[in-house]
Structure 1
Amino acid sequence: MFIPTALQEMPGLNAELHVWDAVTRAFNEQSTLAIHHYPMFFANGSGRREIDILIVDKRLGVCVIEVKGITIDQVDSIQGHQWSYRNFYEEKGSPFQQAEKQLHMLSNHLETNPLLYRRFSKRVWIALPYITEREWRERGFHEQIHVPLPLFQEDLADAQRLREKLQTFALFETNRELSGTELAKISGMLGIQPREAEPPAIEPQLPFSNLYIVPAAADFKRYQKDIANDLQRGTKVYMLAYTDVALSEIAGHEQQMKSFQLNVYRAKNGIREPLAAGCFTDGKGVNAPLLKQMAEHFPDFNSGQFKAIHQSVDAHQMITAGAGTGKTHVMIDRILFLLMNGGISLKHIIMITFTNASTNEMKKRLEDKFLALFKLTQNRQFLAFAEEVKDMQISTIHSFARSILKQLAHEIGYGQNVQLRSFTFEKKRIIYELLDEFFAKHPIDHFLAIELKDYEFVDAVYGMWEEMEKKSLTSGEMKQLDWGGVSGENAAVIQSVLQYIFANCEDRLDQLKQAENAITMGDLIRKLKLFTGSARKMGQLPKDQFMFVDEFQDSDATQIELLASLLQYLQYRLFVVGDIKQAIYRFRGADYKSFEELQEKTKETAYVQTELQLNYRSSSSLLDRMHTLFAHWNEKKWLAYEEGDRLRSNEASQFPKADWHVSSSYEEDFTKALETLPGKGDKIAFIVRTNRHAKKIKEYCAAKGIPTTENLDGTFFTSAPVLDFRALVEGLLYPHEPKFVLNALQTPYFGCRIPYQALLPFGGHRERLISFLHERTRGEFKGYVSSLRTLAPLTVIQKIIFDKQLFARLPQYMEQQLQQEHGGEEPSQEAVELAALRYKKNLQHLMVLLERTFSAKHVTMQMLRDWLQLQISTNRTENEPVLEQDTAQVEITTVHRSKGLEYHTVFLPITNSPFNAVEQQYFVEEASVQANQADRRKFGWKLKSYANNHFPVLKKYEDIEQFKEETRLLYVALTRAEQRVYITMPKKIYNTNCWAYILEQGGLRG
């Protein structure tokens, strides 16, 4: 963005305009912020400084240019920073020092944001538009070491030269470019609002795609010019050829194919009656029989993808996307189809993904697609689309729900800026209060006879409350629960207490939430029920949007109801993608019957249904092996797997007749598999059910000296970087408490090694201990504590990270840690590098979470400590960032974390562990199995030996559903494999509730 000056007259303005013109020619307005005249006021109000020209660019960082409209004859002398002038409006000046002060003032302001501290390069330049470099050198000014070479007349005349010269000098330089997020933060802190631009639109005559059928070489010759024109302007080309075609005659065909803009398919042998030559624009004229024929003649042509992408703009679609069938590619191309064929703006497209990582990945994939099209075509419309992606709503369902709640918060008594909180402590306090109230009116004898400690009962009730929230029950639905019957006075009193608590607890909590204008994560979904049934309330939201939903099989009842409401009241067009065979989040409240439920709730809507079966991940022989298992599971009704679900592949096996291994031990197989991995980028994955199993495999690999990466469930807030960060915060918060200071100093931030024996002589004397500890850092730690009086907490922590060179020292620290963990054995270089990389990634992720949580607040150390303590104690859903590296060829992952990933070789090393080792104490009836939607939902409970009569019925249903979910987990685990699968099966199976039994019933033998 270029922001010119509003001034029309002032001394030196013509010279500044000369430099401004050069800057705007040298940089791209889409990616660089340049401001002509940026004012800055002193904090005490005593005056202001004004930067002549300010540039913010991803490569340059922050650059201040001071312009002097003088000729060489007007420069009398230069001594140090002071310049003396003749025949100028001032006699003396210090232009470099002046610009330097402006830069420091601006940088200090920007670096109050901890995510910008030491993150951008800082540059100062003097621009002399009326002086040439030759004139400068003739006066000998270039020999003065304290005077950096200015920008001369020649530099300003050549855009390339200007860009290069600006990068040659910096007061401070980072080794990285500014990210888009960081550039946006800087713009925001400068008070620059992004301009509302008209959404870009592709020229109306530009089709999204053309499909050419080429029976003979002559037909290719006839279409060659049209194909070249299509590619040049950005139209995707599908070419179905029955003969060899001379692709080399199409300019840039290799890049076009690499970007999937040119897609050439060769017919299989033996086709007696080829299809007639023809060209089909945007899928028009390609009916179902013709599409079927195309798929039969051209095995590599993905008819399912073509069908899904080219449906009419207003079509509602349900896409069943099997594992590895390219659903992301389909969604991106469908968006392009809407832009080019329907003239839809990206601002009218909403995409719901399952995780934050998926959100970021989808944005990147879209941007990359548009940028690739721009490079191929030089059509700036595609560049504009890439810029517009940042404004497109791509988010998780919880983020989308939060945006709705912000818009409609007034309808339920909340302010617009609703905050998120856990309310864990408050919930338990309310339970205690309601217990006291109940037993103030009722005898307590029978309750005491249960011999259940009060905190155990409160924890059980809290768990029930969480389960109800997870199943999206509102306050009214809790009051209407069907509690069934009980036998015996002790069970009756438990039932009465539970009914009393759940008739009142949610209302009590809602009062607190409204007072604090805060809700829980679970509220983001379930409070949508308060809107979805009302046309008036829903009518306040934007209409006529296009909604894409990824991983739809993991939606819950309320999310499905929301989609139905958006369709009914706001005319949303739906594009839902999923695979019920990969529905593995039932424990979070997801309903694998989501496709059926959506159709049931939107009976008046016709959906175009498409199955994607062509797999791009696994070899065909591996899929054939899996098919046998999956078909057996379908016969037993454990897995919904019909003929239309069978995956097909054209990928050849790298290990013919040696890609499927079943044995009683994985150790020997693992050694052979590791030795026979074809390339360094190929990976082996150990896929397990639980983090405990992952730890066992990790210990085995560590004992063998094999570097691994781990991709586990919910381990982020118990990881070392988070615990060390808390220790640092507590040390800064409690600088007079020896234990907190000691813990902080022993983190990698300071890296002090203080043996316990060194503390014994002080006999626990606090002041002497503190004095000793501060001496170890030569008072440095005390200095950081003092700086908290003037600097924000996160700024101080960023200062510690920079001053102590944390990331540079991490490898040495991690080497010592690993050596200590493994009994003094020296770790490999690969293990050290991986540990340091993991630590760095986790710390960066933590800083992003802190910025996201506290961005709108003045944060204190106490707030930081309390938030960290709560997350460490309760948050088991936040995952560690996935490491993208080639050092370790072995990854240990849970099934849930492996979703969406692929590995050359997959091991299932532990299959005999029972999956219902802990008996659940309560169940909420699934909304989808209620006999009648008007009926009350059943709740079953069991405490000690007491239970209501719903418990055994609901438990039986839950056991069956869990068995099906475990089967789906196995489906997901197996379909991660590209080339090989190794399964460990015990010689005898004693437990039916384990993976080994499911595999055996599928026909697998050890």
Structure 2
Amino acid sequence: MKTRERFDLLETAIGHDAMLIEASAGTGKTFTIAFLVLRLLLERPELTIDRILVTTFTELATAELRGRIRERLREALAAFRGEQSTDELLLKLRANHRDHRTATTGLEAALVNFDEAPIYTIHGFCQRVLAERAFESATLFDAELLTNQRELLREIVDDFWRTHFYTGERLPALLALRGKITTKQLFTNIEELTKNPRLVVRPAKFRAYSDIAAEIAKTLSALRKDWGRERASLYDLFSQTDWAKGDHKDSAYMKLLLGHLELCLADESGSLEQLECIEKFATSAVHKNTRAGQQKPQHRVFARCEEIVGLTAELCAALRAEFFRYAREQLRARKLTRNVISYEDLLTRLDDALKGAGGDELAASIRGRYHVALIDEFQDTDPVQYSIFARIYRGSSAPVAFIGDPKQAIYAFRGADVFTYVNAARETPRKFTLTANWRSESRLVNAVNSIFSRQADAFLLDEIQFVPITPGAHADERPLLVRGKPEPPFHLWTSSEEEELPDRVASEIVRLLGSDATIGNDKLEPRHIAVLASTNAQAAGVQDALRARRVPTVLYSSANIFHSREAQELRDLLAAVVQPGNERLIRAALCTDSLGWTGNDLDEFSRDESRWETELLRFQQHHEIWRDRGFIQMLRQLASSHRVRQRLLSYPDGERRLTNFLHLAELLHTACVEHRLGMNGVLKWLGQQMQGTPSADREEHELRLESDEKAVRIITVHKSKGLEFDVVFCPFVWWNGATRAAFHDPDADWRLTLDLSDRDAHKAEREREALAENVRQFYVALTRAKHRCTMVWRAGEKPEKSACARLLGGGAQPEITNGADIMVAPLPDATAKSYASGPEQARSLQPRVFSGKIDRTWGISSFSKLISGREADHSFDEGLPVEHATSPTEGLPWQGIHAFPRGMRAGTCLHEIIEQVNFDRLTNAAEIVERKLRGYGIDGFEDVVMENVRALATLPLLDFTLAETKETTRIPELEFSYPINEFTSTKLGRVLGERVPLRIDRLQFSPVSGFMNGFIDLIFEHEERFYFIDWKSNWLGPDLRAYHAAAIAAEMQRNFYTLQLCLYSVALHRYLRVRKPSYDFEQHFGGAFYIFLRGIDPAQPSHGVHHQRLDRALVEQLSEVFD
């Protein structure tokens, strides 16, 4: 491979084509990107900041890039303005550009317009392109973006499973399970498909699943006949097993398996355990377990079993192939039907659009918007992402830079494809590398160079070469000294046991912290140290060992919060609150660590009936608070009354426990709000998450960090990429990850390929790719340290399996010796016992004094805020708590809708039902009613509410009904905001006068300015007139007679609904004035309907309805008062 040129930040020409910049660990990739943006703005004055596209992979990286680029531009502007600067690069750049006025003008403009800088994630870029060019890309305007499509994936898996295994014969299903085809495995397969949409599945065609199943049944029938004839000879063969080895040598065990085989053949359905014996008696298995020098037994039954094993493998492969076809087809179809897209679809849709008819025009349009592209973290690209940028920029004069480090390509499990980088490198004409390490001490840089320079093909791919890096100019300004002296910066410990590693690492950390070590002028503290692990389990083991020595730690983990101990405890607590009469559940809750009772406490309280009753009453109170005020209020009260915070913090890992508890509380509260969960619904939802159902792997469900101040960081290698630490321990770098089922096929342009017919045929390729990935992880781990890195080399690892063994040897001792930069030593003994941190100096903190003035009259106002200072009126039902009614006829004397529960939650439930119902056709109304009532925990009222919905649809409103309006002429829940200026109740009273019945004397509010905000329940049009409706669920009495016109008018005045009517009339008037070009108030303004849902009857239209249309003069006067 041709050696890459060194990329010079000042001198290397950016050019007008594609270039690839390889940025090894610590060489300043983000710094380089920021400097490239600066150079582009200076060297090309016609280029503006909004034309330079910068993409990366995560929101966090995007924010960092945005901040670093902005800061670089600010520093450059100061330098070009002549301000003092010690930045040698900027001083040279200023000397190279003599026209400082033009440079200053350009940089000022870039900073002024920096919010328009297109610095996006790759998905964000694709989403914007698809939205801005919907026609060119054939994208639906209103498609919903799925932030998490796991529920859809699970649905597809479950449907496939039901189709194939819930009906039909049992035997093929058992054979599939025996072949490890489970819903869990299929879910993994469909996730792989979404991450790798261009995955090639081979062979393209299989025999039909049903045909193979039929042949298995036929072969089993033949096996039954053979068994009947040969049964005795098989028992004789395994009576004497001197010829055998392994399991087959155990005569008693083999006779047991023969019994299982007989059961399997006698019962056509069989079981998984019985089917295992067919594999044991296959010819290949028997011959494999025949001792060397012995004649390999031949038997008709063995041959039949071999046939079944082969057919089972074929059946499983065919089933997997059918699933991949089904999954691809169903993903497309269901997303199209539901008009949804996922983040992965953003990429594939843009790629497909660029490949399709009009793709050249679309590419030209994108280039016209983004004149330059800088692609960050390019080593983590995939075929679709590279295809997008290649089609946009390849062959054009627009500069595009691909920046990344293939040696750090470690995210294959997320869909990243290092072979795409390799292909791109081949196609990119100009290739460069960054050569200076700005992270690590010079001797540590030299040590890493020596390790990875030992083999020319250290990374196994010709296109990924290790180029020795030179230390930065200031590499040794702040050295690590131990007792005032330098030590070798790279320590290699030799070991053969994994179990002892956490304890030895913890001991060495304690020793190092107690050795008066310094970094520059700073004392070495726990916050300077990180331990890298390969798995979450390894990380947890290290944390336990450090905690045992009182070393503060923080664990960066991707473990799921619902798999934590606190999730189990919270479920026990909530179960007791939901059923406060169940003493068994209450005892279980009290014995959690969160409440802290012991067995002795329980025994003592159970003997004192009075004290025990007090405790039971507390749980009853928690139950009532949850019922009346909601989940989060209950949990706060429970945590306060039981001192949960203090109790959890008393444990050695108290900060972790409290963080988990609060995180779970937040997630449960969000679920309550989003899904309208009642008490049992919360318990059910929590149980589903703990069982690992699809939504349990969302990013927000990962364990959060407890405070990481002054703590040793424990983190996996994957999460450590892009980070740096002063001192790093890598005790598990010898560990080997699993080998993937797919491989990159050199005969198919290195596309990711899954061969279902014969996995062993490509075993060498798959193992080589796994080893290459391990080498890259090894490189990432060893390049995180700034001052010292300690790794463990384990004896006996195989070079073809382990990156550590490949680079350092796999014998009894590593193939590397002590030197000035590297110290090789046996794993040290665990001598250090406990860490004693020095006393902390208390800091005196003083709050800043705010001397400004806040305009408290300006803000967002609403009808509710205006009436918040009114005289108390307890007849306002919508603010009352829910009163529970068990059924229309039980518990209360009233009937029908009058017996429906009262209060805000019940009212909200009715509002949501009506909002979703389509009045001109009630085909799905029953399903909406049932779902909403169930979500709010209201049972027994489905028929009642459905009857109320029908009545509402056919209720006469003037000379028409809602059933006569069309869905396209209705807008539910329209939000409005219009400006108001020094609006007062006095001004309102002057305008309304005697024209509107409103007791202004009961309404007092301070002058308000800003915006009037609200939601109109429904706006609709009928025969060119526009009306609005406000639904009211107020309970006025036990039957229809309580809702006559006079009672409704009194309710309107008592609760200031007339004021609401005025505010909403102004909103509708202003809305129509803007949205309807030919708007005329007299012709188009229809007024308001206030409909009291409990008091309507189509046969008595005067009941339950208040209609009012303000005149034009009043509406316009009100509008002027607000202005």
Give the corresponding residue for 1:625. Answer: 447
Per the alignment, in what secondary structure is the counterpart of residue 324 of structure 1? coil
Give the corresponding residue for 1:277. Answer: none
| CA distances 1:371-425 after superposition (whole Å, capped 9, x unpaired) | 6678886999878756755554434333444445556498367843332421243
Q: Which amino acid is 1:953 matched to?
A: A
The CA distance in 2 between the partners of 1:735 and 1:348, in whole Å, is 63
What are the equivalent positions in structure 2 for 1:449-848 lying under 5 Å apart? 450=175, 452=177, 456-473=181-198, 481=204, 488-534=310-356, 536=358, 539=361, 542-544=366-368, 545=370, 546-568=372-394, 573-599=399-425, 603=427, 607-635=429-457, 638=460, 642=465, 644-650=467-473, 651-652=475-476, 653-654=479-480, 656-664=486-494, 666-667=504-505, 669-676=508-515, 677-678=517-518, 679-680=523-524, 683-715=528-560, 718=563, 752-753=595-596, 775-776=617-618, 779=621, 782-788=624-630, 797=632, 812-816=646-650, 818=651, 827=652
Aligned 8 A contact 2:38 2:73 in 1: no
Aligned 8 A contact 1:622 1:659 in 2: yes
- Structure 2 CA distance for partners of 1:968 and 1:499, relative to 1, 3 Å: closer
- Structure 2 CA distance for partners of 1:865 and 1:479, relative to 1, 3 Å: farther
- Structure 2 CA distance for partners of 1:494 and 1:454, relative to 1, 3 Å: closer
Shift of 1:568: 4.7
The CA distance in 1 between the partners of 2:771 and 2:565, in whole Å, is 35
Per the alignment, in what secondary structure is the counterpart of residue 418 of structure 2? coil
Q: Which amino acid is 1:615 matched to?
A: N
The one of 305, 311, 324 equivalent to 2:9 is 305
The CA distance in 1 between the partners of 2:311 and 2:116, in whole Å, is 61
Shift of 1:858: 6.3
Aligned 8 A contact 1:418 1:519 in 2: yes
- Structure 2 CA distance for partners of 1:455 and 1:902, relative to 1, 3 Å: closer
The one of 30, 39, 50 equivalent to 1:337 is 39
2:676 equivalent to 1:860: yes
- Structure 2 CA distance for partners of 1:891 and 1:932, relative to 1, 3 Å: closer
The CA distance in 2 between the partners of 1:569 and 1:417, in whole Å, is 35
Shift of 1:578: 0.5
* % same residue: 20
- Structure 2 CA distance for partners of 1:659 and 1:589, relative to 1, 3 Å: same
Q: How many residues align?
A: 648
The CA distance in 2 between the partners of 1:449 and 1:726, in whole Å, is 35
The CA distance in 2 between the partners of 1:373 and 1:781, in whole Å, is 62
The one of 802, 806, 818 equivalent to 1:998 is 806
The CA distance in 2 between the partners of 1:449 and 1:887, in whole Å, is 54
Aligned 8 A contact 2:179 2:316 in 1: no
The CA distance in 2 between the partners of 1:810 and 1:372, in whole Å, is 50
The CA distance in 2 between the partners of 1:580 and 1:494, in whole Å, is 36
Give the corresponding residue for 2:886. Answer: none
The CA distance in 2 between the partners of 1:386 and 1:324, in whole Å, is 28
Per the alignment, in what secondary structure is the counterpart of residue 334 of structure 1? helix
Shift of 1:455: 8.5
Shift of 1:898: 0.9
| CA distances 1:915-960 after superposition (whole Å, capped 9, x unpaired) | 34xx76xx3343xx34245x9975324xxxxxx23x1133321111
Note the residue ranges of structure 2 that are not aligned, 5 or more in a row.
Answer: 84-103, 213-306, 496-503, 818-824, 826-1123
Aligned 8 A contact 2:55 2:119 in 1: yes
Q: Which amino acid is 1:646 matched to?
A: I
Q: Which amino acid is 2:677 matched to?
A: M
- Structure 2 CA distance for partners of 1:400 and 1:728, relative to 1, 3 Å: farther
Give the corresponding residue for 2:269. Answer: none
**CA-atom RMSD, angstroms?**
5.0
| CA distances 1:210-243 after superposition (whole Å, capped 9, x unpaired) | xxxxxxxxxxxxxxxxxxxxxxxxxxxxxxxxxx
- Structure 2 CA distance for partners of 1:607 and 1:303, relative to 1, 3 Å: closer
Give the corresponding residue for 1:355. Answer: 58
| CA distances 1:797-854 after superposition (whole Å, capped 9, x unpaired) | 4x678888989988624323x2xxxxxxxx4xxx6567667877x679x77x999x99
Q: Which moved more, 1:326-335 or 1:418-427?
A: 418-427
Aligned 8 A contact 2:460 2:772 in 1: yes
Give the corresponding residue for 1:940. Answer: 755
- Structure 2 CA distance for partners of 1:865 and 1:373, relative to 1, 3 Å: farther
Shift of 1:782: 2.7
2:784 equivalent to 1:972: no
Q: Which amino acid is 1:426 matched to?
A: E
| CA distances 1:613-649 after superposition (whole Å, capped 9, x unpaired) | 1111111111111112101243455376646453434
| CA distances 1:472-530 after superposition (whole Å, capped 9, x unpaired) | 237xx669847699984333333333333333332234332223333455444444443
Aligned 8 A contact 2:733 2:778 in 1: no
The one of 768, 772, 791 equivalent to 1:960 is 768
- Structure 2 CA distance for partners of 1:543 and 1:426, relative to 1, 3 Å: same
Note the residue ranges of structure 1 that are not aligned, 5 or more in a row.
Answer: 1-290, 293-301, 789-795, 819-826, 942-947
- Structure 2 CA distance for partners of 1:493 and 1:547, relative to 1, 3 Å: same
The CA distance in 1 between the partners of 2:625 and 2:312, in whole Å, is 62
| CA distances 1:155-177 after superposition (whole Å, capped 9, x unpaired) | xxxxxxxxxxxxxxxxxxxxxxx
Q: Which moved more, 1:730-739 or 1:362-371?
A: 730-739
The CA distance in 2 between the partners of 1:740 and 1:512, in whole Å, is 43
- Structure 2 CA distance for partners of 1:549 and 1:893, relative to 1, 3 Å: same
The CA distance in 2 between the partners of 1:515 and 1:730, in whole Å, is 39
- Structure 2 CA distance for partners of 1:661 and 1:762, relative to 1, 3 Å: closer
Q: Which amino acid is 2:779 matched to?
A: Y
Shift of 1:307: 4.1
Give the corresponding residue for 2:897. Answer: none
Q: Which amino acid is 2:377 matched to?
A: E
Shift of 1:965: 0.9
Give the corresponding residue for 1:27. Answer: none
Which one has the largest radius of gyration?
Answer: 2
Give the corresponding residue for 1:109. Answer: none
2:702 equivalent to 1:887: no
Shift of 1:685: 1.6
Shift of 1:327: 1.0
- Structure 2 CA distance for partners of 1:417 and 1:462, relative to 1, 3 Å: closer
- Structure 2 CA distance for partners of 1:635 and 1:548, relative to 1, 3 Å: closer
The CA distance in 2 between the partners of 1:659 and 1:642, in whole Å, is 24
Q: Which amino acid is 1:305 matched to?
A: L
Aligned 8 A contact 2:732 2:792 in 1: yes
Q: Which amino acid is 1:431 matched to?
A: F
Shift of 1:562: 1.5
TM-score by length of 1: 0.55
- Structure 2 CA distance for partners of 1:690 and 1:537, relative to 1, 3 Å: same
TM-score by length of 2: 0.50
Shift of 1:961: 0.8
Shift of 1:580: 0.8
Shift of 1:710: 1.4
Q: Which moved more, 1:769-778 or 1:952-961?
A: 769-778
Shift of 1:757: 8.4
The CA distance in 2 between the partners of 1:502 and 1:510, in whole Å, is 12
Aligned 8 A contact 1:467 1:924 in 2: no
- Structure 2 CA distance for partners of 1:532 and 1:995, relative to 1, 3 Å: same
- Structure 2 CA distance for partners of 1:930 and 1:997, relative to 1, 3 Å: closer
Shift of 1:908: 1.7
Q: Which amino acid is 2:770 matched to?
A: Q
Q: Which amino acid is 2:317 matched to?
A: Q
- Structure 2 CA distance for partners of 1:902 and 1:954, relative to 1, 3 Å: same
Q: Which amino acid is 1:425 matched to?
A: R
The one of 432, 446, 464 equivalent to 2:161 is 432
Shift of 1:686: 1.4
